[in-house]
């Protein structure tokens, strides 16, 4: 019963209210039914760019946040690895850092001045100072680097937990049969890590599509140049809180919800969670 009450109050009620509000123009205490007028935002150039940005960010982060943590977890799980606890702590600590602090630190690291940390690094290779947060390529590099820094340790811990659940007897038997390390990785490790990979992929997709705080703090609460890093959630925040267009913000929220649900259904279908017959 407590779960049902909590679900209805904090989840179902919020979604229903958002859907209703997406068909209204909200002006203070007054609301006017406007039908699909708010959904014209879906044809807006900024919305389309925001959607593309969210999808692009999600795809790239998924490609980065699965293999890299898996390799690091395999290294930490190796018998030959020393100081495992130290490396585990070093990689996991960034996840405990506030996104506000991370955004400020990275904004200073990737600053425009010649004396910023990253410009000093590239200067060692004879490269002129780069305006990191002004051009699309360098902006995305900064965001991806921030994502890797914050979340690699978390996904690594998931994979490390999965690796420790694999019986050592399987590797010993494979070694006796003459299987190489790559063959053990291909036929034992990766298949048995499938549940972990599915979970990591799921949270990476949701995290990527919902990305907002990193971009918001990186640009100190301002819009990115030419909306180069504006995401769906970022546009929703701008329309709802900065421009007080709650109806349009709700329409964006409904669209975002439908996109995430569609992606989730497709993912469950591919994984065989839904659509498979019993006994198969």
Q: Cα angle at 124 between 122 and 128, to 5 degrees? A: 50
Q: How does the average pLDDT of the chain come out, rounded?
A: 87
At 174, phi and psi to the nearest 5? -65, -40
Dist. CA 61–CA 147, nearest whole Å? 7
Q: pLDDT tens, 17-46?
A: 899 999 999 877 778 898 999 999 999 999
**277: pLDDT strictly greater than 60:** no
**279: pLDDT strictly greater than 70:** no
Q: pLDDT tens, 78-118?
A: 877 788 888 888 888 898 888 888 988 999 899 887 788 89
Lookup: tokens for 194: 């499938």
Lookup: tokens for 255: 């669209």
State pTM to two decimals: 0.87
Dist. CA 87–CA 83, nearest whole Å? 7
Q: Which CATH architecture has domain 2-271?
A: Orthogonal Bundle (1.10)
**171: pLDDT strictly greater than 60:** yes
Note the pLDDT of residue 1.
Answer: 64
Q: pLDDT tens, 112-145?
A: 877 888 999 998 898 888 888 888 889 999 999 9
Dist. CA 143–CA 210, nearest whole Å? 14
Domain spans of the chain, in order of start: 2-271
At 247, phi and psi to the nearest 5? -65, -45
Note the pLDDT of residue 186.
Answer: 87
């Amino acid at each position: 019963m407590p779960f049902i009450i909590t679900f209805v109050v904090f989840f179902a009620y919020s979604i229903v209210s958002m859907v209703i509000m997406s068909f209204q123009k909200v002006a203070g205490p007054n609301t006017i039914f406007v039908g699909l007028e708010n959904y014209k935002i879906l044809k807006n150039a900024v919305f389309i760019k925001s959607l593309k940005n969210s999808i692009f960010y999600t795809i790239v982060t998924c490609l980065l946040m699965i293999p890299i943590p898996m390799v690091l977890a395999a290294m930490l799980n190796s018998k030959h690895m020393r100081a495992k606890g130290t490396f585990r702590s070093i990689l996991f600590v960034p996840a405990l850092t506030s996104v506000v602090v991370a955004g400020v630190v990275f904004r200073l690291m990737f600053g425009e001045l010649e004396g910023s940390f990253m410009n000093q690094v590239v200067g060692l290779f004879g490269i002129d100072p780069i305006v990191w947060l002004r051009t699309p390529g360098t902006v995305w590099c900064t965001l991806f680097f921030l994502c890797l820094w914050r979340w690699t340790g978390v996904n690594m811990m998931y994979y490390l937990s999965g690796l420790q659940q694999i019986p050592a007897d399987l590797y010993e038997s494979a070694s006796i049969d003459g299987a190489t390390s790559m063959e053990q990785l291909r036929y034992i490790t990766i298949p048995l890590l499938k549940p972990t990979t599915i979970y990591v992929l799921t949270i990476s997709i949701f995290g990527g599509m919902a990305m907002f705080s990193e971009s918001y703090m990186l640009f100190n609460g301002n819009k990115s140049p030419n909306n180069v890093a504006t995401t769906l959630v970022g546009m929703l925040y701008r329309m709802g809180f900065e421009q007080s267009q709650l109806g349009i913000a709700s329409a964006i929220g409904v669209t975002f919800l439908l996109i995430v649900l569609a992606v989730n259904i497709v993912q469950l279908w591919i994984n065989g969670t839904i659509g498979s017959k019993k006994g198969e």
